[in-house]
Structure 1
Amino acid sequence: MEQPMKILIVEDEMIIGANISLQLSTLGYEVTGIIPRGEEALIHINENQPDLVLLDINLKGKLDGIETAIEMQKEYPIPIIYLTANADEAHFNRAKATKPYAFISKPYKKLDLQRAVELTINQIQKEQVLEKETGGASSPYILSDSIFVRHHEKMVKVVIQDILYIEAERNYCRIHSKGKEYLLVMTLKDMDEKLPDEHFLRIHRSFIINIAQVDEVANSHVVISKKAIPISKTLREELMKRLQTI
Protein backbone atom coordinates (compact mmCIF):
# COMPACT_ATOMS: atom_id res chain seq x y z
CA MET A 1 0.00 0.00 0.00
CA GLU A 2 1.40 3.38 -1.03
CA GLN A 3 2.01 5.93 1.70
CA PRO A 4 0.67 9.47 1.16
CA MET A 5 3.28 12.16 0.52
CA LYS A 6 4.21 13.95 3.77
CA ILE A 7 4.13 17.74 3.51
CA LEU A 8 5.26 20.30 6.10
CA ILE A 9 3.73 23.79 6.06
CA VAL A 10 5.95 26.57 7.42
CA GLU A 11 3.69 29.63 7.64
CA ASP A 12 3.35 32.25 10.39
CA GLU A 13 -0.18 33.31 9.39
CA MET A 14 -2.03 30.46 11.02
CA ILE A 15 -5.33 30.96 9.13
CA ILE A 16 -3.47 30.64 5.81
CA GLY A 17 -1.58 27.62 7.15
CA ALA A 18 -4.82 25.96 8.29
CA ASN A 19 -6.49 26.57 4.91
CA ILE A 20 -3.51 25.09 3.05
CA SER A 21 -3.50 22.10 5.42
CA LEU A 22 -7.20 21.47 4.84
CA GLN A 23 -6.79 21.58 1.08
CA LEU A 24 -3.75 19.29 1.09
CA SER A 25 -5.52 16.80 3.35
CA THR A 26 -8.55 16.85 1.03
CA LEU A 27 -6.21 16.06 -1.89
CA GLY A 28 -4.91 13.01 -0.02
CA TYR A 29 -1.59 14.32 1.33
CA GLU A 30 -0.40 13.92 4.91
CA VAL A 31 0.40 17.25 6.61
CA THR A 32 3.13 16.67 9.20
CA GLY A 33 2.66 20.06 10.84
CA ILE A 34 1.93 23.79 10.52
CA ILE A 35 4.98 25.56 11.94
CA PRO A 36 5.17 29.37 12.34
CA ARG A 37 8.96 29.83 12.78
CA GLY A 38 11.96 28.71 10.76
CA GLU A 39 13.99 27.58 13.76
CA GLU A 40 11.06 25.40 14.94
CA ALA A 41 10.66 24.03 11.42
CA LEU A 42 14.27 22.81 11.42
CA ILE A 43 13.62 20.83 14.62
CA HIS A 44 10.44 19.38 13.11
CA ILE A 45 12.25 18.42 9.88
CA ASN A 46 14.99 16.69 11.88
CA GLU A 47 12.39 14.62 13.72
CA ASN A 48 9.88 13.95 10.92
CA GLN A 49 11.69 14.40 7.56
CA PRO A 50 8.76 15.33 5.32
CA ASP A 51 8.82 14.66 1.57
CA LEU A 52 8.05 18.29 0.68
CA VAL A 53 8.12 21.66 2.47
CA LEU A 54 5.76 24.54 1.71
CA LEU A 55 7.73 27.51 3.02
CA ASP A 56 6.68 31.12 3.48
CA ILE A 57 9.56 33.42 2.45
CA ASN A 58 8.65 36.22 4.89
CA LEU A 59 8.72 34.35 8.19
CA LYS A 60 9.00 36.29 11.42
CA GLY A 61 11.65 35.23 13.92
CA LYS A 62 15.40 34.67 13.69
CA LEU A 63 15.28 32.99 10.27
CA ASP A 64 13.25 34.00 7.23
CA GLY A 65 12.06 31.32 4.83
CA ILE A 66 15.13 31.46 2.60
CA GLU A 67 17.54 31.21 5.54
CA THR A 68 15.48 28.28 6.83
CA ALA A 69 15.81 26.57 3.45
CA ILE A 70 19.59 27.09 3.40
CA GLU A 71 19.96 25.58 6.87
CA MET A 72 17.67 22.67 6.00
CA GLN A 73 19.55 21.88 2.79
CA LYS A 74 22.82 21.47 4.69
CA GLU A 75 21.37 18.23 6.09
CA TYR A 76 18.30 17.26 4.06
CA PRO A 77 17.72 17.57 0.28
CA ILE A 78 13.97 18.07 0.74
CA PRO A 79 12.08 19.76 -2.14
CA ILE A 80 10.77 23.28 -1.45
CA ILE A 81 7.79 25.25 -2.69
CA TYR A 82 7.88 28.88 -1.60
CA LEU A 83 4.83 30.87 -0.54
CA THR A 84 5.31 34.60 -0.94
CA ALA A 85 3.36 37.85 -0.77
CA ASN A 86 6.53 39.71 -1.74
CA ALA A 87 7.81 38.79 -5.18
CA ASP A 88 10.44 41.53 -5.56
CA GLU A 89 13.68 40.87 -7.44
CA ALA A 90 15.94 40.71 -4.37
CA HIS A 91 13.78 38.08 -2.63
CA PHE A 92 13.39 36.12 -5.84
CA ASN A 93 17.13 36.00 -6.52
CA ARG A 94 17.92 34.91 -2.95
CA ALA A 95 15.21 32.26 -3.09
CA LYS A 96 16.27 31.05 -6.54
CA ALA A 97 19.72 30.11 -5.18
CA THR A 98 18.05 27.42 -3.01
CA LYS A 99 16.60 25.80 -6.17
CA PRO A 100 12.91 25.64 -5.21
CA TYR A 101 10.53 23.55 -7.29
CA ALA A 102 7.88 26.29 -7.43
CA PHE A 103 6.67 29.67 -6.14
CA ILE A 104 3.08 30.34 -5.06
CA SER A 105 1.98 33.97 -4.68
CA LYS A 106 -0.24 34.97 -1.76
CA PRO A 107 -3.15 35.34 -1.65
CA TYR A 108 -2.96 31.96 -3.33
CA LYS A 109 -5.60 30.26 -5.46
CA LYS A 110 -6.52 26.68 -4.61
CA LEU A 111 -5.81 25.52 -8.14
CA ASP A 112 -2.34 27.14 -8.08
CA LEU A 113 -1.48 25.25 -4.90
CA GLN A 114 -2.80 21.96 -6.26
CA ARG A 115 -0.91 22.29 -9.54
CA ALA A 116 2.35 23.40 -7.91
CA VAL A 117 2.32 20.37 -5.59
CA GLU A 118 1.40 17.96 -8.40
CA LEU A 119 4.10 19.34 -10.72
CA THR A 120 6.66 19.09 -7.93
CA ILE A 121 5.72 15.48 -7.20
CA ASN A 122 5.98 14.73 -10.92
CA GLN A 123 9.48 16.24 -11.03
CA ILE A 124 10.57 14.32 -7.92
CA GLN A 125 9.36 11.07 -9.52
CA LYS A 126 11.32 11.83 -12.70
CA GLU A 127 14.46 12.42 -10.64
CA GLN A 128 13.92 9.14 -8.79
CA VAL A 129 13.57 7.30 -12.12
CA LEU A 130 16.81 8.91 -13.32
CA GLU A 131 18.54 7.78 -10.16
CA LYS A 132 17.32 4.19 -10.69
CA GLU A 133 18.35 4.21 -14.35
CA THR A 134 21.86 5.30 -13.43
CA GLY A 135 21.89 2.72 -10.65
CA GLY A 136 22.30 5.46 -8.07
CA ALA A 137 25.99 4.79 -8.59
CA SER A 138 27.19 7.65 -10.69
CA SER A 139 30.08 8.37 -8.39
CA PRO A 140 32.96 9.24 -10.69
CA TYR A 141 36.29 7.45 -10.72
CA ILE A 142 38.81 10.24 -10.32
CA LEU A 143 42.37 9.86 -11.63
CA SER A 144 45.15 12.44 -11.69
CA ASP A 145 44.30 13.70 -15.18
CA SER A 146 40.75 12.53 -15.83
CA ILE A 147 37.37 11.56 -14.39
CA PHE A 148 35.31 8.56 -15.48
CA VAL A 149 31.57 9.29 -15.26
CA ARG A 150 28.52 7.20 -16.10
CA HIS A 151 26.85 8.47 -19.29
CA HIS A 152 24.16 6.54 -21.21
CA GLU A 153 24.97 3.27 -19.41
CA LYS A 154 28.71 3.59 -20.13
CA MET A 155 31.67 4.92 -18.18
CA VAL A 156 33.04 7.86 -20.16
CA LYS A 157 36.45 9.47 -19.71
CA VAL A 158 36.37 13.25 -19.14
CA VAL A 159 39.79 14.91 -19.23
CA ILE A 160 40.22 17.23 -16.22
CA GLN A 161 41.67 20.08 -18.25
CA ASP A 162 38.50 20.05 -20.43
CA ILE A 163 36.15 20.56 -17.47
CA LEU A 164 34.95 24.17 -17.25
CA TYR A 165 32.83 24.11 -14.08
CA ILE A 166 30.46 21.92 -12.08
CA GLU A 167 27.02 23.13 -11.05
CA ALA A 168 24.72 21.89 -8.26
CA GLU A 169 21.21 20.78 -9.23
CA ARG A 170 19.56 19.72 -5.97
CA ASN A 171 20.87 16.17 -5.32
CA TYR A 172 22.79 16.13 -8.58
CA CYS A 173 25.77 17.86 -10.13
CA ARG A 174 26.19 18.78 -13.73
CA ILE A 175 29.69 18.74 -15.17
CA HIS A 176 30.11 21.35 -17.90
CA SER A 177 33.05 20.42 -20.09
CA LYS A 178 34.12 21.64 -23.52
CA GLY A 179 31.22 20.70 -25.78
CA LYS A 180 29.46 18.27 -23.39
CA GLU A 181 27.54 18.02 -20.12
CA TYR A 182 27.25 15.10 -17.70
CA LEU A 183 24.68 14.73 -14.92
CA LEU A 184 25.82 12.85 -11.82
CA VAL A 185 23.70 11.50 -8.98
CA MET A 186 25.75 13.05 -6.19
CA THR A 187 25.74 16.33 -4.27
CA LEU A 188 28.16 19.14 -5.02
CA LYS A 189 29.57 18.74 -1.50
CA ASP A 190 30.47 15.09 -2.17
CA MET A 191 31.92 16.03 -5.54
CA ASP A 192 34.04 18.75 -3.95
CA GLU A 193 35.52 16.26 -1.49
CA LYS A 194 36.58 13.91 -4.32
CA LEU A 195 38.09 16.41 -6.77
CA PRO A 196 41.82 17.23 -6.79
CA ASP A 197 42.41 20.57 -5.01
CA GLU A 198 45.14 21.67 -7.38
CA HIS A 199 42.64 21.99 -10.25
CA PHE A 200 39.31 22.87 -8.65
CA LEU A 201 37.86 25.35 -6.17
CA ARG A 202 34.32 25.65 -4.85
CA ILE A 203 33.63 29.40 -5.17
CA HIS A 204 29.91 29.37 -4.35
CA ARG A 205 27.43 27.00 -2.71
CA SER A 206 26.26 26.00 -6.22
CA PHE A 207 29.49 26.04 -8.22
CA ILE A 208 32.93 24.42 -8.40
CA ILE A 209 35.25 25.82 -11.06
CA ASN A 210 38.33 24.58 -12.88
CA ILE A 211 40.78 27.33 -11.91
CA ALA A 212 42.72 27.01 -15.17
CA GLN A 213 39.56 27.83 -17.17
CA VAL A 214 38.88 31.26 -15.60
CA ASP A 215 38.78 34.01 -18.24
CA GLU A 216 37.82 36.98 -16.03
CA VAL A 217 37.47 37.77 -12.32
CA ALA A 218 35.06 40.52 -11.20
CA ASN A 219 33.99 41.54 -7.70
CA SER A 220 30.94 39.29 -7.59
CA HIS A 221 31.57 36.70 -10.30
CA VAL A 222 34.05 34.98 -12.57
CA VAL A 223 33.65 34.32 -16.29
CA ILE A 224 34.37 30.92 -17.78
CA SER A 225 33.63 30.33 -21.46
CA LYS A 226 31.26 33.36 -21.52
CA LYS A 227 29.33 32.05 -18.48
CA ALA A 228 29.17 34.39 -15.45
CA ILE A 229 29.48 32.32 -12.27
CA PRO A 230 28.82 33.93 -8.86
CA ILE A 231 31.63 33.95 -6.32
CA SER A 232 31.27 34.27 -2.55
CA LYS A 233 33.11 37.30 -1.13
CA THR A 234 35.02 35.10 1.31
CA LEU A 235 36.38 32.90 -1.49
CA ARG A 236 37.46 35.60 -3.94
CA GLU A 237 40.77 36.15 -2.13
CA GLU A 238 41.49 32.40 -2.14
CA LEU A 239 40.79 32.28 -5.87
CA MET A 240 43.16 35.19 -6.55
CA LYS A 241 45.93 33.40 -4.63
CA ARG A 242 45.35 30.20 -6.58
CA LEU A 243 45.32 32.01 -9.93
CA GLN A 244 48.76 33.41 -9.17
CA THR A 245 50.19 29.90 -8.77
CA ILE A 246 49.00 28.34 -12.03
Structure 2
Amino acid sequence: MTKNNTILIVEDEMIIAANISLQLTHLGYEVTGIIPRAEEVLPHIRLYVPDILLLDINLKGDIDGIQLALLIQKEFKIPIIYLTANSDEAHFERAKDTNPYAFISKPFKKLDLQHAIELTIIRIQNENETEKSIPIDNDVPFVLSDCIFVRSHNKMVKVCINDILFIEAERNYCKIHCKDREHLLVTTLKDLEEKLTSNNLLRIHRSFIVNLSHIDEIAMSHVVIAKKAIPLSAELKKKLLQRIQKI
Protein backbone atom coordinates (compact mmCIF):
# COMPACT_ATOMS: atom_id res chain seq x y z
CA MET A 1 0.00 0.00 0.00
CA THR A 2 1.27 3.47 -0.89
CA LYS A 3 2.50 5.40 2.13
CA ASN A 4 2.96 8.86 0.63
CA ASN A 5 -0.53 10.10 1.48
CA THR A 6 -0.68 13.52 3.13
CA ILE A 7 -2.60 14.00 6.37
CA LEU A 8 -3.63 17.18 8.21
CA ILE A 9 -4.23 16.92 11.98
CA VAL A 10 -6.78 19.26 13.58
CA GLU A 11 -6.53 18.71 17.32
CA ASP A 12 -6.43 21.27 20.16
CA GLU A 13 -4.71 18.98 22.67
CA MET A 14 -1.15 19.43 21.48
CA ILE A 15 0.30 16.44 23.33
CA ILE A 16 -2.21 14.16 21.62
CA ALA A 17 -1.62 15.87 18.26
CA ALA A 18 2.15 15.52 18.54
CA ASN A 19 1.80 11.84 19.43
CA ILE A 20 -0.47 11.24 16.43
CA SER A 21 1.96 13.07 14.15
CA LEU A 22 4.86 10.95 15.40
CA GLN A 23 2.91 7.72 14.87
CA LEU A 24 1.84 8.73 11.36
CA THR A 25 5.41 9.65 10.43
CA HIS A 26 6.63 6.26 11.66
CA LEU A 27 3.95 4.62 9.50
CA GLY A 28 5.29 6.45 6.45
CA TYR A 29 2.69 9.19 6.01
CA GLU A 30 3.38 12.89 5.49
CA VAL A 31 1.80 15.18 8.09
CA THR A 32 1.12 18.54 6.44
CA GLY A 33 0.43 20.33 9.71
CA ILE A 34 -1.01 20.31 13.22
CA ILE A 35 -3.72 22.94 13.72
CA PRO A 36 -5.40 23.53 17.10
CA ARG A 37 -7.92 26.24 16.13
CA ALA A 38 -10.86 25.80 13.76
CA GLU A 39 -10.52 29.25 12.18
CA GLU A 40 -6.99 28.43 11.01
CA VAL A 41 -7.95 25.29 9.11
CA LEU A 42 -9.55 26.61 5.91
CA PRO A 43 -6.75 29.11 5.15
CA HIS A 44 -4.25 26.27 5.57
CA ILE A 45 -6.20 23.89 3.31
CA ARG A 46 -6.54 26.55 0.62
CA LEU A 47 -2.76 26.59 0.40
CA TYR A 48 -2.18 22.84 0.73
CA VAL A 49 -5.02 20.35 0.30
CA PRO A 50 -4.30 17.12 2.23
CA ASP A 51 -5.41 13.67 1.13
CA ILE A 52 -6.95 12.93 4.56
CA LEU A 53 -8.15 15.11 7.44
CA LEU A 54 -7.86 13.85 11.03
CA LEU A 55 -10.37 16.07 12.83
CA ASP A 56 -11.17 16.30 16.53
CA ILE A 57 -14.91 16.72 17.09
CA ASN A 58 -14.56 18.52 20.42
CA LEU A 59 -12.55 21.55 19.35
CA LYS A 60 -12.50 24.50 21.71
CA GLY A 61 -13.90 27.75 20.38
CA ASP A 62 -16.99 29.01 18.59
CA ILE A 63 -17.41 25.98 16.30
CA ASP A 64 -16.71 22.30 16.85
CA GLY A 65 -15.19 19.78 14.49
CA ILE A 66 -18.48 18.81 12.87
CA GLN A 67 -19.36 22.41 12.07
CA LEU A 68 -15.86 22.89 10.71
CA ALA A 69 -16.25 19.80 8.51
CA LEU A 70 -19.42 21.26 6.98
CA LEU A 71 -17.58 24.49 6.16
CA ILE A 72 -14.69 22.59 4.60
CA GLN A 73 -17.02 20.46 2.49
CA LYS A 74 -18.50 23.56 0.87
CA GLU A 75 -15.13 24.07 -0.83
CA PHE A 76 -13.23 20.78 -0.75
CA LYS A 77 -13.79 17.06 -0.99
CA ILE A 78 -11.42 15.69 1.64
CA PRO A 79 -11.93 12.33 3.41
CA ILE A 80 -12.48 12.96 7.13
CA ILE A 81 -11.57 10.73 10.05
CA TYR A 82 -13.03 11.99 13.32
CA LEU A 83 -11.19 11.87 16.63
CA THR A 84 -13.53 11.98 19.60
CA ALA A 85 -13.62 11.46 23.33
CA ASN A 86 -17.40 11.87 23.27
CA SER A 87 -19.14 9.11 21.32
CA ASP A 88 -22.72 9.82 22.37
CA GLU A 89 -25.62 9.37 19.97
CA ALA A 90 -26.18 13.10 19.42
CA HIS A 91 -22.63 13.69 18.23
CA PHE A 92 -22.75 10.58 16.06
CA GLU A 93 -25.99 11.65 14.35
CA ARG A 94 -24.58 15.13 13.62
CA ALA A 95 -21.32 13.68 12.36
CA LYS A 96 -23.09 11.30 9.96
CA ASP A 97 -24.25 14.30 7.91
CA THR A 98 -20.61 14.94 6.94
CA ASN A 99 -20.13 11.37 5.65
CA PRO A 100 -16.91 10.62 7.57
CA TYR A 101 -14.66 7.77 6.53
CA ALA A 102 -13.98 6.60 10.09
CA PHE A 103 -14.24 7.38 13.82
CA ILE A 104 -11.44 6.93 16.33
CA SER A 105 -12.41 7.07 19.98
CA LYS A 106 -9.98 8.52 22.52
CA PRO A 107 -7.93 7.13 24.06
CA PHE A 108 -6.87 5.00 21.12
CA LYS A 109 -4.04 2.62 20.31
CA LYS A 110 -1.54 3.00 17.49
CA LEU A 111 -3.17 0.04 15.74
CA ASP A 112 -6.59 1.79 15.83
CA LEU A 113 -5.06 4.80 14.05
CA GLN A 114 -3.21 2.66 11.55
CA HIS A 115 -6.30 0.62 10.64
CA ALA A 116 -8.50 3.72 10.27
CA ILE A 117 -5.98 5.35 7.92
CA GLU A 118 -5.45 2.21 5.84
CA LEU A 119 -9.19 1.55 5.50
CA THR A 120 -9.69 5.16 4.44
CA ILE A 121 -6.97 4.85 1.78
CA ILE A 122 -8.56 1.65 0.48
CA ARG A 123 -11.90 3.42 0.22
CA ILE A 124 -10.28 6.36 -1.60
CA GLN A 125 -8.60 3.98 -4.05
CA ASN A 126 -11.89 2.14 -4.66
CA GLU A 127 -13.70 5.41 -5.28
CA ASN A 128 -11.01 6.50 -7.72
CA GLU A 129 -11.25 3.18 -9.57
CA THR A 130 -15.02 3.55 -9.75
CA GLU A 131 -14.65 7.02 -11.24
CA LYS A 132 -12.22 5.69 -13.83
CA SER A 133 -14.62 2.89 -14.79
CA ILE A 134 -17.44 5.33 -15.51
CA PRO A 135 -17.52 6.08 -19.25
CA ILE A 136 -16.49 9.65 -19.90
CA ASP A 137 -18.25 11.15 -22.88
CA ASN A 138 -15.69 13.92 -23.38
CA ASP A 139 -12.57 13.77 -25.50
CA VAL A 140 -9.58 16.06 -26.00
CA PRO A 141 -11.17 19.45 -26.80
CA PHE A 142 -10.79 21.71 -29.82
CA VAL A 143 -9.77 25.11 -28.53
CA LEU A 144 -10.50 28.32 -30.42
CA SER A 145 -9.95 31.92 -29.37
CA ASP A 146 -13.46 32.42 -27.97
CA CYS A 147 -14.73 28.89 -27.31
CA ILE A 148 -13.89 25.27 -26.64
CA PHE A 149 -15.54 22.32 -28.39
CA VAL A 150 -15.88 19.31 -26.09
CA ARG A 151 -17.20 15.88 -26.87
CA SER A 152 -20.57 15.03 -25.34
CA HIS A 153 -22.01 11.65 -26.29
CA ASN A 154 -21.63 11.45 -30.07
CA LYS A 155 -21.29 15.14 -30.81
CA MET A 156 -19.05 18.13 -30.17
CA VAL A 157 -20.57 20.83 -27.97
CA LYS A 158 -19.49 24.46 -28.05
CA VAL A 159 -18.53 26.00 -24.70
CA CYS A 160 -18.03 29.76 -24.86
CA ILE A 161 -15.03 31.11 -22.97
CA ASN A 162 -17.25 33.81 -21.45
CA ASP A 163 -19.45 31.11 -19.87
CA ILE A 164 -16.53 29.36 -18.16
CA LEU A 165 -16.24 30.23 -14.46
CA PHE A 166 -13.09 28.22 -13.74
CA ILE A 167 -11.28 25.04 -14.74
CA GLU A 168 -10.20 22.54 -12.09
CA ALA A 169 -7.56 19.82 -12.38
CA GLU A 170 -8.52 16.32 -11.22
CA ARG A 171 -5.46 14.11 -11.81
CA ASN A 172 -5.36 13.50 -15.59
CA TYR A 173 -8.73 15.14 -16.12
CA CYS A 174 -9.96 18.72 -16.20
CA LYS A 175 -13.39 19.81 -15.06
CA ILE A 176 -14.73 22.94 -16.74
CA HIS A 177 -17.18 24.69 -14.43
CA CYS A 178 -19.71 26.81 -16.31
CA LYS A 179 -22.71 28.78 -15.14
CA ASP A 180 -25.20 26.00 -15.83
CA ARG A 181 -23.21 22.75 -16.12
CA GLU A 182 -19.81 21.04 -15.93
CA HIS A 183 -17.69 19.29 -18.56
CA LEU A 184 -15.11 16.61 -17.78
CA LEU A 185 -12.17 16.44 -20.19
CA VAL A 186 -9.52 13.75 -20.62
CA THR A 187 -6.55 16.12 -20.54
CA THR A 188 -4.20 17.61 -17.98
CA LEU A 189 -4.50 21.20 -16.86
CA LYS A 190 -1.03 21.92 -18.22
CA ASP A 191 -1.94 20.65 -21.71
CA LEU A 192 -5.20 22.60 -21.69
CA GLU A 193 -3.47 25.77 -20.49
CA GLU A 194 -1.03 25.59 -23.39
CA LYS A 195 -3.94 25.53 -25.86
CA LEU A 196 -5.94 28.37 -24.29
CA THR A 197 -5.41 31.78 -25.87
CA SER A 198 -8.08 33.87 -24.18
CA ASN A 199 -6.73 36.77 -22.13
CA ASN A 200 -9.55 36.24 -19.64
CA LEU A 201 -8.31 32.80 -18.58
CA LEU A 202 -5.38 32.64 -16.17
CA ARG A 203 -3.83 29.90 -14.09
CA ILE A 204 -3.69 31.06 -10.44
CA HIS A 205 -2.89 27.75 -8.76
CA ARG A 206 -1.42 24.40 -9.73
CA SER A 207 -4.96 23.00 -9.88
CA PHE A 208 -7.02 25.96 -11.13
CA ILE A 209 -7.46 28.24 -14.14
CA VAL A 210 -9.99 31.02 -13.61
CA ASN A 211 -11.97 33.37 -15.80
CA LEU A 212 -10.89 36.83 -14.66
CA SER A 213 -14.19 38.39 -15.67
CA HIS A 214 -16.06 36.22 -13.16
CA ILE A 215 -13.91 36.94 -10.09
CA ASP A 216 -16.04 38.45 -7.31
CA GLU A 217 -13.37 38.77 -4.60
CA ILE A 218 -9.60 38.61 -4.29
CA ALA A 219 -8.24 37.71 -0.84
CA MET A 220 -4.72 37.04 0.40
CA SER A 221 -4.80 33.32 -0.37
CA HIS A 222 -7.84 32.79 -2.60
CA VAL A 223 -10.31 34.30 -5.04
CA VAL A 224 -14.08 33.87 -5.02
CA ILE A 225 -16.09 32.97 -8.11
CA ALA A 226 -19.81 32.20 -7.85
CA LYS A 227 -19.45 31.76 -4.07
CA LYS A 228 -16.64 29.21 -4.57
CA ALA A 229 -13.31 29.98 -2.87
CA ILE A 230 -10.45 29.03 -5.19
CA PRO A 231 -6.87 28.86 -3.84
CA LEU A 232 -4.44 31.50 -5.09
CA SER A 233 -0.73 30.69 -5.19
CA ALA A 234 1.48 33.37 -3.70
CA GLU A 235 3.82 33.30 -6.69
CA LEU A 236 0.92 33.79 -9.14
CA LYS A 237 -0.91 36.52 -7.23
CA LYS A 238 1.23 39.32 -8.72
CA LYS A 239 0.53 38.04 -12.23
CA LEU A 240 -3.20 37.95 -11.46
CA LEU A 241 -3.24 41.56 -10.22
CA GLN A 242 -1.26 42.75 -13.24
CA ARG A 243 -3.64 41.00 -15.64
CA ILE A 244 -6.73 42.42 -13.93
CA GLN A 245 -5.35 45.95 -14.21
CA LYS A 246 -5.25 45.52 -17.96
CA ILE A 247 -8.88 44.40 -18.27
Normalised by the shorter chain, which TM-score bucket? 0.5 to 0.7
Which one has more relative contact order, counting CA pairs under 8 Å at least 6 apart? Answer: 2
Find the residue that maps to 1:144 and give its secondary structure: coil
1:55, 1:208 → 2: CA distance?
Answer: 33
Which of 126, 134, 143 is the aligned partner of 2:136? 134
Q: CA deviation at 1:227?
A: 2.1
Output the TM-score relative to the length of structure 2. Answer: 0.57
Change (3 A) 1:225 1:124: closer
Change (3 A) 1:242 1:149: same
Which of 97, 107, 110 is the aligned partner of 1:107? 110
Q: CA deviation at 1:154?
A: 3.2
1:201, 1:161 → 2: CA distance?
Answer: 13
**Aligned partners of 1:163 and 1:210 also within 8 Å:** yes
Find the residue that maps to 1:228 and give its secondary structure: strand
2:151, 2:129 → 1: CA distance?
Answer: 21
1:9 aligns with 2:10: no
2:168, 2:47 → 1: CA distance?
Answer: 17
Q: CA deviation at 1:115?
A: 3.0
Q: Which residue of 2 aligns with 1:143?
A: 144
2:159, 2:150 → 1: CA distance?
Answer: 7
Find the residue that maps to 1:244 and give its secondary structure: helix
Letter in 1 for 2:151: R
**Aligned partners of 1:134 and 1:150 also within 8 Å:** no
2:47, 2:115 → 1: CA distance?
Answer: 23
1:163 aligns with 2:164: yes
1:93 aligns with 2:49: no
Change (3 A) 1:156 1:87: same
1:57 aligns with 2:9: no
Q: Which residue of 2 aligns with 1:116?
A: 120
Count of paired positions: 175
**Aligned partners of 1:172 and 1:183 also within 8 Å:** yes
Change (3 A) 1:95 1:209: closer
Change (3 A) 1:152 1:111: farther
Letter in 2 for 1:202: R
Q: Which residue of 1 aligns with 2:196?
A: 195
Q: CA deviation at 1:158?
A: 0.4
Q: CA RMSD in A?
A: 3.5
Q: CA deviation at 1:171?
A: 2.4
Specify every segment of 5 or more residues in structure 2 that has no aligned partner in the other structure, as ranges.
6-23, 53-77, 84-108
Output the TM-score relative to the length of structure 1. Answer: 0.58
